[in-house]
Amino acid sequence: MAKEKTLEDLFHDTLRDIYYAERKILKALPKMQRAAQSQELKAAFEKHREQTEGHVERLQQVFEIIGKAPRGKTCDAIEGIVAEGEEIMDEFKDTPALDAGLISAAQAVEHYEITRYGTLRRWASELGLADAARLLEATLKEEARTDEDLTKLAETSANQRARKAA
């Protein structure tokens, strides 16, 4: 008879999912940075890459807290989101709309991460994993700030450049 699944199992499974996603994002960000046209967007991608390295380290600490090895589990959602970003880089290469498209792809990643970290933080609290909840909260706040920064960049420059080209 199969073991009954618990919130602890779900927490671990979702932790493996976001661990895979963060590592996939680390590989995608340098490509996005190279593709970006504006220096501000290049800098934003570099900053996010550095933050993502910290997110991976925090996740490793959470794995340690729950006594599990840090292992990812293929995340089909992030695979699809990254593939869409690559499609934007191909289809809009050398056009004024590229940076706006890259920002939209990056925000799709951010929104996915925000939902995962919010859920994991809530579950960690419910499971009495206060240290894990604090680590997940720190990352959640950084992800939300990155999303806000990308919105600002889109509104103040990238979208206007893309629109003016029309």
Q: Read off the tokens for 129.
A: 């994993």
Match 């680390």 to its residue by tokens.
26
Q: How far apart are CA 32 and CA 56, in angstroms?
A: 19
This prediction's pTM: 0.93
Residue 123 burial (CB count, 10 A): 20
Task: For residue 95, give Cα distances in angstroms to 60, 81, 163.
Answer: 39, 21, 11
Using alpha carbons only, give the angle 40, 45, 47 rounded to the nearest 5 degrees: 90
Match 């794995």 to its residue by tokens.
63
Res 52 pLDDT > 80: yes
**Averaged pLDDT, 6-31:** 97
Backbone angles phi, psi at 66, to 5 degrees: -90, 5
Q: What is the pLDDT of residue 3?
A: 86
Class of the CATH domain delimited by 7-164: mainly alpha
Res 1 pLDDT > 90: no
Boundaries of every domain in the chain: 7-164
Query: 98-139: per-residue pLDDT in tens?
Result: 999 999 999 999 999 999 999 999 999 999 999 999 999 999
**Averaged pLDDT, 75-94:** 95
Res 166 pLDDT > 70: no
Mean pLDDT of the chain: 95
